[in-house]
Amino acid sequence: MIRYGRLAAAALARPGEIPQRVARDAVAAADWVAPATGPQSAALTEETERIADWLERPGVRLIEIEGDWCWPVGVGPSAAVRLRQVAVGSTP
Amino acid sequence: MPGLSVSKVSSTAVIQPSFEDLGRPLSQVTFCVVDLETTGSSEDDTITEVGAVKVRGGQVLGEFQTLVNPNSHIPALISVLTGITDQLVAGAPKLPQVLPGFLEFAAGTVLVAHNARFDVGFLKRACARHDYSWPNPEVVDTVALARQVLLRDEVPNVKLSTLAAHFHATTSPTHRALDDARATVDVLHGLLERVGNLGTDTLEDLLEFLRRVSPQRRAKRTLAKGIPSAPGVYQFIADLSAPDGSIRRQVLYVGKSTNLKRRVASYFTAAETRPRMDEMVRIATGVETTVCRTPLEAEVLELRLIGAHSPRYNRRSKFPERQHWLKLTAEAYPRLSLVRQVSDDGCFYFGPFRRRAGAEEVMLAVYDAFALRQCTARLSAKKASPGCALADMGRCPAPCRLAIAPDDYAAIVDRVRRALGADTSELVTAVAPRLAQLSAAERYEEAATVVSRLESCTAARCGTTGWPAWPAARTWWQRYKSMRAGRST
């Protein structure tokens, strides 16, 4: 359970347990986290970074999210390729 | 730790042991104490006599002794030392006949020898020469063991004769294989008695004991007792006594592991080679562990503990809270401002950056792409003020001289906001004409600088600094205030 970029609760569903119920219980028992000012996260930047990295690891699934999980357009390897093209003048 | 429901594990907790924890008790290990006599000590020399004693739990199970015909002359010096002459070995069996018998005798045992490198080397070479596979048993060297166990003022050296006398061996070594092996048995038992009270009661402990580890560090092995084999976070603690007699608890080091028991135990072995950690273990007076349910929980708990205690032996930045943001100011003609703190003023913020240089790089990339003003003065939308060189050069729309209407300038600001917050490709598109100009004018170095600045903006991650080059890219952090994540197992 993550609130404002801070790990508020963690739970592990043992074999035989219902993952969704374990998640619901974890949410019910999770920390209350005060929202930080502006776009800041409510934890150390390193913590939020680790959580964000973990969320994008293969095998990790979101059960529920308020809002969307998104990156801006034009970030990453495809942007580097396009930048190279622009730099050599093949693309306007 | 609020929120993370974790269980503190005290050393009295009852944990079901696994086979991994058990090890082989020394009393149930069969040792084959071996000694060889040879024609010399070089690689070309061969074995002239093999003597071995098999012992388990202090009981002698069997003895093995035979002379070996070396097929070569035994030097006089060696004959004087050992008493084995050419005539004595003339009728003895040769090595190919002796070797299978010895390998059968030693099968499944732990080899023990005094200066084991010598004896094991000869046996390995003999096996290779006569096409027998070397069984690769565990080897205990009584020389190495004696160096670790005995103190300098107890014995002047670790020769077999010295040690046999020290431990009152029943057989005195005579440089004949079986006698020396029997003496080595007594030396081994004497040494095992000495390591017993140092917490060494399995073969695995004994083999670890042979490695060179500082005694101060080895003495701390008991700190690892009772730690569970579970994932979690460990803290090395020092209870330092203040001058007034009170005890001040200090956290020295925080780490995480998927197997706490194995990880903490490794700090007291030769596997730990970092000098800083050696120093830390010497100071430490205790280890506290916290079991976590998921690796992420352990990672986060480690970070929070490091943040809370700033342990002396953890390497991390000195000012973790220091961060830099780019802010689009709220005024008639907004500008980019480098700030250290985010306030609740509704302005657009981009960040955080760990280093100021990173924020400056992005700021320059924005200036390359968009005609945003670069001055820091607060400009009035009604009254013109003097312009700067950039305005004269046409690099700035000169809002200072009221050369641009506030609405037109606001359109530029909107593009900046969009480029930083939602669509980076606008940044690249906007910089393309300038790049074309630069390359047409053959100003390639300048063009390369512009491109590298853009690259620092569009790279999704920056591997070295820990924080990404595009920090606000994960917009959930910026806009979506709450989310729930679960991992189905």
The CA–CA distances, whole Å, from B421 to A73, A75, B358, B371 equal: 9, 11, 17, 18
- pTM for the whole thing? 0.66
Task: Tell me which amino acid residue B249 is.
Answer: R
Residue B354, pLDDT above cutoff 90: no
Beta strand pairing call for B7-9 and B286-291 = antiparallel
A-chain residue closest to B425, CA distance: A74
Q: Tens of pLDDT along B104-141?
A: 999 999 999 999 999 999 999 999 999 999 999 999 99
B175 assigned to active site: yes
**Strand pairing report for A6-7 and B30-38:** unpaired
pLDDT tens-digit series, residues B422-480: 777 788 888 888 888 888 888 888 888 888 888 777 665 443 333 444 444 344 443 33
User: Average pLDDT, stretch B299-314?
Assistant: 90
Q: Give B469→chain A minimum CA distance, Å.
A: 10
Asked if residue B473 lies in contact with residue A71, where contact means CB atoms within 8 angstroms, the answer is yes
A45 and B429 Cβ atoms separated by less than 8 Å: no
pLDDT at B75: 92
pLDDT at position B34 over 90: yes
Strand order in the sheet with B30-38: B59-67, B47-56, B30-38, B110-113, B139-141
* B258 contacts B266 by C-beta, under 8 angstroms: no
Count the alpha carbons within 13 Å of B69 in the hemisphere toward its beta carbon.
Answer: 9
B224, pLDDT greater than 90:
no
Please tell me the total number of residues recorded for chain A in this structure. Answer: 92
B367-404: burial string, b at 16+ Cβ within 10 Å, e else? bbbbbbbebeeebeeeeeeeebebbeeeebbbbbebeb
Q: Is the pLDDT of residue B197 over 80?
A: no
Query: How far is the C-alpha of B152 from the C-alpha of B65, rounded, in Å?
Result: 34
How far is the alpha carbon of B274 from chain A, nearest alpha carbon, in Å?
A: 25
d(CA B476, CA B462): 19
Catalytic residue among B175, B189, B309, B324: B175
Q: Identify whether the C-beta of residue B24 lies closer than 8 Å to the C-beta of residue B243.
A: no
Q: Bridge partners of B171?
A: none
pLDDT > 60? residue B403: yes
Structure-token pair, residue A2: 């993550």
Shortest Cα–Cα distance, B341 to chain A (Å): 9
The residues near B415 (Cβ < 8 Å, ≥ 6 apart) are B370, B426, B430
pLDDT for B8 equals 45
Out of A45, A72, A76, name the one closest to residue B323 (CB). A45
Specify whether the CB–CB gap between B232 and B287 falls below 8 A. Answer: no
Q: Does the beta-carbon distance from A10 to B307 stay under 8 Å?
A: no
For residue A35, which residues of chain B lie inside 8 Å, CB to CB?
A: 481
- Work out the mean pLDDT of chain B and round it to a whole number: 83
pLDDT value of position B143: 93
Q: Which residues have a Cβ under 8 Å from the Cβ of B344 and sit 6 or more positions away? A: A37, A38
Which of A26, A66, A92 is opposite residue B482, by nearest beta carbon?
A66
Q: What is the pLDDT of residue B478?
A: 36
pLDDT attached to residue B98: 93
